[in-house]
Amino acid sequence: MTWKVNKIMNLRIPGAILLAILVAASAFGPCAFAQSDNAALEKVLTKMDDVAKDFRSLESSFVWDHYTQLVDEHEISRGEIYFKREGNQMAMAADIAGTPKKGDAAAVPPKYILYGDGEVQIYNPKIDTVNVYKPGKNREAVESFLVLGFGGRGQDLRKSYDLKYLGTEKVEGVETAKLELIPKSEKARGMFPKIVLWIDPQQGVSVQQQFFERSGDYKLAKYSEIHMNQKLPDGVFKLKTTAKTTYLSPQG
């Protein structure tokens, strides 16, 4: 947090008293703020823990913005995303609509993304091809990125990230808790050196996420119309392929 020094300076306070205020702030303020921030962080993580106990499913609309610094371009994806947990296994499905809205600089064509059983499948209906990715030893890291902030225990974040509470911020009218995550794993930091989550303190899930890359690129994800533990539409965890669909494994 930052002291509003300019506002204090504009007040008609005798110089000696003003100096005493600023000295006291520098001496005691950071410690008090750190304690307050730690308490706020613990509150958010505890709420996420409570939600995780009963988490079964989630459905949400999304807008994904992939910014490429080199060409100063935003690639926009819109659609629906689904999560479900069965035992210790988490599955995710995303239906990218591919219908741009006015103001979108660029839009991704329709695609379907499916994650389950340690495998990511991306179906491009335009060329009727499914790319299959098997993260292998990196499965835990990949899954942690895919489902980050959706049904996971808050305290589990401590195992993989150095956490920092950044205060509160309104996102689409919701007063959220803003958290900074720095991956502890060198491999994970190679992908995303920093991640920021905006957590809805009432629902205990993220309504916005930003993944920063070393190149200066970033991925910003916004989620709305979030429904938890309700019946999901039939067939969302099955790719809508055809009899002629080609399956490829890019990593060989």
pLDDT category, 106, cuts 50, 70, 90?
low
Distances (CA, A) of 54 to 50, 150, 151, 209, 230: 8, 12, 9, 23, 12
* pLDDT of 20: 44
Q: Of the ranges 150-164, 167-181, 215-229, which one carries the lowest mean pLDDT score?
A: 150-164
State the sign of the Cα–Cα–Cα–Cα dihedral 140, 144, 145, 147: positive
- What does pLDDT average to over the chain? 82
Taking the CB of residue 165, how many other CB atoms lie within 10 A of it? 21
HSE value, Cβ hemisphere, 13 Å, CA-based, for 38: 6
More confident residue, 115 or 98: 115
Q: Residue 4 domain-assigned?
A: no
Distances (CA, A) of 93 to 11, 59, 207: 56, 10, 17
Number of folded domains that form the chain: 2
Q: Residue 5 domain-assigned?
A: no
Q: Of the ranges 49-58, 96-105, 118-127, which one carries the lowest mean pLDDT score?
A: 96-105
Q: Are 223 and 81 in contact (CB under 8 A)?
A: yes
Q: Residue 1 domain-assigned?
A: no
Range of the domain at 37: 15-42
d(CA 35, CA 81): 37
Tens digits of residue pLDDT in 183-214: 998 888 888 999 999 999 889 999 999 999 99
Q: Residue 126 domain-assigned?
A: yes
d(CA 220, CA 206): 12
Q: Residue 76 domain-assigned?
A: yes
Burial annotation 181-192 (CB, 10 A radius, 16+ → b, else e) = bebeeeebeebb
Residues 24 and 78 in one domain: no
Residues 117 and 205 in one domain: yes
Residues 33 and 140 in one domain: no
Residues 150 and 29 in one domain: no
Q: Residue 9 domain-assigned?
A: no
At a CB cut-off of 8 Å and minimum separation 6, what does 104 contact?
Answer: 74, 76
Residues 101 and 142 in one domain: yes
Task: Give the rounded percent of residues in the chain with a pLDDT score beyond 70.
Answer: 77
Residues 97 and 28 in one domain: no
State the sign of the Cα–Cα–Cα–Cα dihedral 174, 110, 151, 165: negative
Q: Residue 2 domain-assigned?
A: no
Structure token digits, residue 238: 């099955």
* pLDDT of 97: 80
Q: Residue 93 domain-assigned?
A: yes
pLDDT category, 77, cuts 50, 70, 90?
confident
pLDDT higher than threshold 80 for residue 67: yes
At a CB cut-off of 8 Å and minimum separation 6, what does 142 contact?
Answer: 120, 135
Q: pTM higher than 0.85 for the full model?
A: no
Residues 90 and 122 in one domain: yes
Residues 85 and 181 in one domain: yes
Tens digits of residue pLDDT in 4-53: 334 433 444 454 544 444 444 444 454 544 557 889 999 999 999 999 89
Residues 21 and 133 in one domain: no
DSSP letter at 193 equals S
* pLDDT of 47: 93
At a CB cut-off of 8 Å and minimum separation 6, what does 145 contact?
Answer: 188, 191, 192, 211
Taking the CB of residue 69, how many other CB atoms lie within 10 A of it? 11
Residues 36 and 119 in one domain: no
* pLDDT of 44: 93
More confident residue, 101 or 174: 174
Residues 131 and 36 in one domain: no
pLDDT category, 153, cuts 50, 70, 90?
confident
* pLDDT of 76: 87
DSSP string across 215-237 = TS-EEEEEEEEEEESSPPPTTTT
Q: Domain holding 157: CATH number? A: 2.50.20.10
Residues 227 and 240 in one domain: yes
